[in-house]
Amino acid sequence: TDQRERLEARRGEPSVLIGGGGGDQLVGRQGENTFKYEKSTDSLSDDPDTLLNFNPKEDEIDVAGVLKDHNISAINIQPGPPVEVGDVQLTHEFGVSTLTIKVNPEGPNFSIRVDGVNLLPQHINFFHSD
């Protein structure tokens, strides 16, 4: 939905969590969790989702649908704020990582927050391997 939601994975089994619009809380549990995003409006920079209990050893963030929805076929990971479409920024401050992707020339960026993890590019599925 386009309302704020709290979604929790099932304990001990693989789970796929899709927040939809609004600043949702997605909570991972023991077992492999995929935090999946299909559209940029699922988590905008002005009201981003927050991922909790993300385990970088077995969980992944899947943004391939967002990039496909905007016909983005290449990304540029950079230290500064995204400027061009396809630019990606990962920041980590005070125990919170933020992933920001420029998906439109103008308008809000796609963005998610991940609590308690230093998020790295290898934790993110930018493009499906199929």
Contact 64, 127 (CB under 8 A): yes
CA distances for 39 relative to 14, 92, 95, 98, 123, angstroms: 22, 24, 26, 17, 19
pTM score, whole prediction: 0.90
- Tokens 């992944």 -> residue: 60
Write down the pLDDT at residue 4. Answer: 65
CA distances for 54 relative to 32, 76, 122, angstroms: 10, 24, 13
Average pLDDT, the chain: 90
Residue 61 amino acid letter: I
Bridge pairing between strands 96-101 and 110-115:
antiparallel
Token reading at 86: 């396809």
Q: For residue 130, is it within any domain?
A: no
pLDDT digits (tens, 9 = 90+) for 35-91: 999 999 999 999 999 999 999 999 999 999 999 999 999 999 999 999 999 999 999
For residue 37, what is the domain's CATH number? 2.150.10.10
Q: For residue 100, is it within any domain?
A: yes
> What is the residue range of 19's domain?
6-125
Q: For residue 1, is it within any domain?
A: no
**What is the count of structural domains for the chain?**
1
Residue 1: which pLDDT band, with cuts at 50, 70 and 90? Answer: very low
Write down the pLDDT at residue 11. Answer: 74
Q: For residue 84, is it within any domain?
A: yes
